[in-house]
Amino acid sequence: MRIIAGKHRGRELARFRGQDIRPTADRVKESLFQILSLRLVGARVLDLFCGSGALGLEALSRGAKCAVFNDISRESIALLKKNLSALGEEGEIHTQDFSACLKTVTGKFDLIFADPPYRENFTEEILRLVAERGLLKADGLVIVESEREEAAVQGWEIADLRSYGRTKVAMFRRTASSSLTGADKPAEANS
């Protein structure tokens, strides 16, 4: 696992031991960040199931203004802190269940990365909470990595869908009609 591009290009990240954790493969990460390249400079990102922090750290390396990291695992947070320190980066860190994080985090995000355990299907709940709290900027995306093909959810459309072997990446954006209804409440602390 390494940073693929940007100011930390080529830097190795500390990784988990064992087979229980499934980090995003470098080829998936490289393709994803090529697609997102024009959205990264100055962006505010949320890495919701951060693990080692690879997605949020890649975004920071490529010019994101700030990253918020969350994971329920203390082992993941310890590894994230090690990687942040090694790269000389900072980030806001939460150690919560994803739903608790989405209910308490403040501000609006340009990009929200959601890479939950593949056996779980949290997509609808994530999108519902993001919409209810107004956590996404008008042109923002929620990027979900899973092993199943995602379908559109009410109030959301799939802006892009990619398949990398068993890994599927769906990029969700709010539908035009849902943004016009006023369903999005402003998040408390805009950053």
What is the mean pLDDT for each group of 10 consecutive residues in the chain (191 residues)? 91 71 74 95 97 95 98 95 96 97 97 88 94 96 89 90 90 77 47 47
- CB pairs under 8 A, 24+ apart, for 152-158? 153/123, 153/124, 153/127, 153/128, 155/127, 155/131, 155/183, 156/127, 156/131
- pLDDT recorded at residue 83: 96
Task: Give the whole-angstrom CA distance, residue 61 versus residue 181.
Answer: 36
- pLDDT recorded at residue 21: 55
- As beta bridge partners, residue 82 has none
- pLDDT recorded at residue 119: 77
CATH of domain 29-180: 3.40.50.150
Residue 76: CB partners within 8 Å, gap ≥ 6?
A: 16, 21, 50, 51, 52
- pLDDT recorded at residue 22: 54
- pLDDT recorded at residue 181: 41
- pLDDT recorded at residue 26: 73
- pLDDT recorded at residue 187: 52
pTM over 0.75: yes
